[in-house]
Amino acid sequence: MDAMPEARTLRVDAERNRRRLLDAALELFSERGLDVGVGEIAARAGVGRGTLFRNFASKEDLIAAIVGERMREAAASGRELLDAPDPEEALFEFLQQMVGQQQSDRALFDAVHDTFLANSEIAAAYAELVGVIEQLVARAQAAGVVRADLGALDLIVMVKGLCEAATALHHVNPHIAERQLDLVRAALRPAAATEPLRGRPPTIDDFKRAFPAPGAAAGAAKAS
Protein backbone atom coordinates (compact mmCIF):
# COMPACT_ATOMS: atom_id res chain seq x y z
CA MET A 1 0.00 0.00 0.00
CA ASP A 2 1.74 3.14 -1.18
CA ALA A 3 0.39 5.30 1.64
CA MET A 4 -0.64 8.88 0.89
CA PRO A 5 -0.92 9.76 -2.81
CA GLU A 6 1.29 12.68 -3.86
CA ALA A 7 -0.02 16.01 -2.53
CA ARG A 8 -2.34 17.79 -4.96
CA THR A 9 -1.16 21.18 -6.25
CA LEU A 10 -3.21 23.74 -4.35
CA ARG A 11 -4.71 21.43 -1.76
CA VAL A 12 -2.01 22.38 0.69
CA ASP A 13 -3.35 25.94 0.80
CA ALA A 14 -6.88 24.68 1.29
CA GLU A 15 -5.81 22.41 4.11
CA ARG A 16 -3.98 25.28 5.77
CA ASN A 17 -7.10 27.45 5.52
CA ARG A 18 -9.17 24.71 7.13
CA ARG A 19 -6.70 24.44 9.99
CA ARG A 20 -6.68 28.22 10.46
CA LEU A 21 -10.46 28.30 10.56
CA LEU A 22 -10.58 25.58 13.22
CA ASP A 23 -7.97 27.37 15.34
CA ALA A 24 -9.58 30.79 14.98
CA ALA A 25 -13.01 29.40 15.81
CA LEU A 26 -11.75 27.58 18.90
CA GLU A 27 -10.09 30.74 20.15
CA LEU A 28 -13.13 32.92 19.62
CA PHE A 29 -15.62 30.38 20.98
CA SER A 30 -13.52 29.93 24.12
CA GLU A 31 -13.23 33.65 24.60
CA ARG A 32 -16.78 34.74 23.94
CA GLY A 33 -19.08 31.75 23.46
CA LEU A 34 -20.75 30.17 20.48
CA ASP A 35 -22.48 33.28 19.19
CA VAL A 36 -19.46 34.96 17.67
CA GLY A 37 -20.27 35.63 14.04
CA VAL A 38 -18.88 33.59 11.16
CA GLY A 39 -17.60 36.79 9.62
CA GLU A 40 -15.35 37.42 12.58
CA ILE A 41 -14.11 33.83 12.57
CA ALA A 42 -13.22 34.05 8.89
CA ALA A 43 -11.53 37.41 9.48
CA ARG A 44 -9.34 36.08 12.28
CA ALA A 45 -8.45 33.10 10.12
CA GLY A 46 -7.52 35.53 7.35
CA VAL A 47 -9.97 34.18 4.75
CA GLY A 48 -13.25 35.26 3.22
CA ARG A 49 -16.60 34.18 4.61
CA GLY A 50 -17.24 31.94 1.63
CA THR A 51 -14.15 29.89 2.41
CA LEU A 52 -15.57 28.98 5.77
CA PHE A 53 -18.64 27.53 4.08
CA ARG A 54 -16.53 25.73 1.48
CA ASN A 55 -14.82 23.82 4.31
CA PHE A 56 -17.82 23.36 6.61
CA ALA A 57 -21.40 22.99 5.47
CA SER A 58 -22.66 25.22 8.26
CA LYS A 59 -21.56 26.95 11.42
CA GLU A 60 -22.88 23.94 13.30
CA ASP A 61 -20.62 21.65 11.29
CA LEU A 62 -17.63 23.79 12.14
CA ILE A 63 -18.42 23.41 15.83
CA ALA A 64 -18.90 19.67 15.38
CA ALA A 65 -15.48 19.36 13.79
CA ILE A 66 -13.84 21.06 16.76
CA VAL A 67 -15.74 19.01 19.32
CA GLY A 68 -14.85 15.81 17.48
CA GLU A 69 -11.16 16.66 17.60
CA ARG A 70 -11.26 17.27 21.35
CA MET A 71 -13.07 14.00 21.95
CA ARG A 72 -10.46 12.01 20.08
CA GLU A 73 -7.77 13.68 22.17
CA ALA A 74 -9.60 12.75 25.37
CA ALA A 75 -9.96 9.13 24.27
CA ALA A 76 -6.23 8.94 23.57
CA SER A 77 -5.43 10.34 27.00
CA GLY A 78 -7.79 7.82 28.65
CA ARG A 79 -6.17 4.90 26.84
CA GLU A 80 -2.84 5.83 28.37
CA LEU A 81 -4.35 5.63 31.85
CA LEU A 82 -5.34 2.01 31.24
CA ASP A 83 -1.72 1.16 31.96
CA ALA A 84 -1.62 3.00 35.31
CA PRO A 85 -1.14 0.74 38.35
CA ASP A 86 -4.08 1.87 40.54
CA PRO A 87 -7.47 1.35 38.82
CA GLU A 88 -9.31 3.70 41.17
CA GLU A 89 -6.86 6.55 40.75
CA ALA A 90 -6.76 5.98 37.02
CA LEU A 91 -10.53 6.36 36.71
CA PHE A 92 -10.74 9.53 38.77
CA GLU A 93 -7.65 11.03 37.25
CA PHE A 94 -9.34 10.64 33.88
CA LEU A 95 -12.58 12.19 35.11
CA GLN A 96 -10.59 15.10 36.49
CA GLN A 97 -8.97 15.60 33.10
CA MET A 98 -12.34 15.57 31.35
CA VAL A 99 -13.70 18.15 33.75
CA GLY A 100 -10.66 20.34 33.21
CA GLN A 101 -10.98 20.19 29.47
CA GLN A 102 -14.67 20.94 29.47
CA GLN A 103 -14.06 23.92 31.73
CA SER A 104 -11.71 25.50 29.24
CA ASP A 105 -13.95 24.81 26.25
CA ARG A 106 -17.22 25.21 28.03
CA ALA A 107 -19.28 26.67 25.20
CA LEU A 108 -18.26 23.90 22.86
CA PHE A 109 -19.34 21.03 25.03
CA ASP A 110 -22.58 22.61 26.12
CA ALA A 111 -24.08 21.67 22.82
CA VAL A 112 -22.90 18.09 22.63
CA HIS A 113 -25.70 16.30 24.43
CA ASP A 114 -28.21 18.65 22.91
CA THR A 115 -28.03 18.45 19.19
CA PHE A 116 -24.58 17.58 18.03
CA LEU A 117 -24.63 13.86 18.68
CA ALA A 118 -26.72 13.75 15.52
CA ASN A 119 -23.55 14.66 13.65
CA SER A 120 -21.86 11.49 12.44
CA GLU A 121 -18.33 12.74 13.08
CA ILE A 122 -19.11 13.51 16.69
CA ALA A 123 -21.06 10.29 17.15
CA ALA A 124 -18.05 8.23 16.09
CA ALA A 125 -15.64 10.15 18.31
CA TYR A 126 -18.09 9.79 21.17
CA ALA A 127 -18.37 6.02 20.80
CA GLU A 128 -14.59 5.82 20.93
CA LEU A 129 -14.50 7.86 24.14
CA VAL A 130 -17.23 5.77 25.74
CA GLY A 131 -15.29 2.61 24.95
CA VAL A 132 -12.28 3.87 26.85
CA ILE A 133 -14.35 4.88 29.85
CA GLU A 134 -16.03 1.47 29.90
CA GLN A 135 -12.62 -0.14 30.24
CA LEU A 136 -11.55 2.23 33.02
CA VAL A 137 -14.77 1.50 34.91
CA ALA A 138 -14.55 -2.25 34.39
CA ARG A 139 -11.01 -2.27 35.73
CA ALA A 140 -12.07 -0.35 38.85
CA GLN A 141 -15.04 -2.66 39.37
CA ALA A 142 -12.84 -5.74 39.03
CA ALA A 143 -10.64 -4.27 41.76
CA GLY A 144 -13.72 -3.84 43.97
CA VAL A 145 -13.36 -0.07 44.37
CA VAL A 146 -16.48 0.92 42.39
CA ARG A 147 -20.03 -0.40 42.89
CA ALA A 148 -20.81 -3.20 40.46
CA ASP A 149 -24.16 -1.95 39.19
CA LEU A 150 -22.72 1.23 37.67
CA GLY A 151 -22.58 1.60 33.90
CA ALA A 152 -19.98 3.74 32.16
CA LEU A 153 -22.70 5.96 30.77
CA ASP A 154 -24.19 6.49 34.22
CA LEU A 155 -20.88 8.04 35.07
CA ILE A 156 -20.71 10.09 31.91
CA VAL A 157 -24.13 11.55 32.54
CA MET A 158 -23.09 12.52 36.06
CA VAL A 159 -19.84 14.09 35.01
CA LYS A 160 -21.24 15.85 31.99
CA GLY A 161 -23.90 17.42 34.16
CA LEU A 162 -21.44 18.34 36.88
CA CYS A 163 -19.22 20.09 34.36
CA GLU A 164 -21.93 22.29 32.95
CA ALA A 165 -23.19 23.35 36.33
CA ALA A 166 -19.81 23.74 38.01
CA THR A 167 -17.99 25.53 35.22
CA ALA A 168 -20.04 28.68 35.55
CA LEU A 169 -18.80 29.04 39.13
CA HIS A 170 -15.20 28.07 38.54
CA HIS A 171 -13.75 31.54 38.46
CA VAL A 172 -15.32 32.55 41.77
CA ASN A 173 -14.90 29.18 43.54
CA PRO A 174 -12.14 27.26 41.82
CA HIS A 175 -12.49 24.13 43.97
CA ILE A 176 -16.08 23.47 43.06
CA ALA A 177 -15.30 20.91 40.40
CA GLU A 178 -13.13 19.03 42.90
CA ARG A 179 -15.93 19.00 45.45
CA GLN A 180 -18.32 17.65 42.87
CA LEU A 181 -15.85 14.96 41.90
CA ASP A 182 -15.51 14.05 45.58
CA LEU A 183 -19.26 13.62 45.69
CA VAL A 184 -19.15 11.44 42.58
CA ARG A 185 -16.48 9.35 44.22
CA ALA A 186 -18.63 8.96 47.33
CA ALA A 187 -21.55 7.93 45.15
CA LEU A 188 -19.52 5.19 43.46
CA ARG A 189 -18.08 3.63 46.62
CA PRO A 190 -19.32 0.06 47.15
CA ALA A 191 -20.06 0.88 50.81
CA ALA A 192 -22.57 3.51 49.68
CA ALA A 193 -24.47 0.98 47.56
CA THR A 194 -26.97 0.03 50.23
CA GLU A 195 -29.69 -0.34 47.62
CA PRO A 196 -29.48 -1.09 43.88
CA LEU A 197 -29.88 1.68 41.34
CA ARG A 198 -33.34 1.86 39.80
CA GLY A 199 -33.89 1.18 36.09
CA ARG A 200 -31.14 0.00 33.78
CA PRO A 201 -27.85 1.59 32.78
CA PRO A 202 -28.01 3.87 29.76
CA THR A 203 -26.48 2.46 26.60
CA ILE A 204 -24.87 3.90 23.52
CA ASP A 205 -28.01 2.85 21.67
CA ASP A 206 -30.00 5.09 23.98
CA PHE A 207 -27.90 7.99 22.82
CA LYS A 208 -28.24 7.01 19.18
CA ARG A 209 -31.98 6.79 19.46
CA ALA A 210 -32.14 10.05 21.37
CA PHE A 211 -30.15 11.84 18.66
CA PRO A 212 -30.97 10.16 15.35
CA ALA A 213 -28.72 11.07 12.47
CA PRO A 214 -30.61 13.21 9.94
CA GLY A 215 -31.70 11.26 6.86
CA ALA A 216 -31.49 7.92 8.71
CA ALA A 217 -35.24 7.71 9.26
CA ALA A 218 -36.69 4.21 9.59
CA GLY A 219 -39.47 2.82 7.36
CA ALA A 220 -40.00 2.75 3.60
CA ALA A 221 -38.22 5.52 1.73
CA LYS A 222 -40.77 7.41 -0.28
CA ALA A 223 -39.60 8.98 -3.51
CA SER A 224 -40.02 12.74 -3.29
Partner DNA sequence: ACCTGAACACCGTTCAAGT
Positions in 11-30 near DNA (CB under 7 A): 11, 13-14, 17
Q: From CA 123, how far away is CA 210, in angstroms rounded?
A: 12
CA-based torsion, 72, 80, 140, 103: positive or negative: negative
Helix (H, G, I), strand (E, B) or coil at 166: helix
Binding-site string for its own copies from residue 141 to residue 160, where x marks contact by CB under 8 A and - marks none? ------x--x---x-xxx-x
Residues 6+ apart with CB under 8 A from 175: none
Q: Cβ 137 to its own copies, closest distance in Å?
A: 13
3, 45, 118 from 12: Cα distances, Å: 17, 16, 30
Q: Decide if residue 7 touches DNA (CB under 7 A).
A: no
Q: Decide if residue 186 touches its own copies (CB under 8 A).
A: yes
Q: What is the DSSP string of 17-73?
A: HHHHHHHHHHHHHHHH-TTS-HHHHHHHHTS-HHHHHHHSSSHHHHHHHHHHHHHHH
Q: Cβ 224 to DNA, closest distance in Å?
A: 19
Q: What is the DSSP letter of 145?
A: S
Positions in 50-79 near DNA (CB under 7 A): 50-51, 53-55, 57-60
88: partner contacted, choices DNA, its own copies, none (Cβ within 5-8 A by kind) = none
Q: Decide if residue 169 touches its own copies (CB under 8 A).
A: yes
Q: What is the DSSP letter of 121?
A: H
Q: From CA 79, how far away is CA 213, in angstroms rounded?
A: 27
Q: Cβ 106 to its own copies, closest distance in Å?
A: 9
Residue number, 12 or 169, with CB nearest to its own copies = 169
Q: Cβ 76 to its own copies, closest distance in Å?
A: 23
- The site for DNA (CB under 7 A) is made up of 8, 10-11, 13-14, 17, 35-39, 46-51, 53-55, 57-60
- The site for its own copies (CB under 8 A) is made up of 110, 113-114, 147, 150, 154, 156-158, 160-166, 168-169, 171-176, 178-180, 182-184, 186-189, 191-195, 197-203, 206-207, 209-211
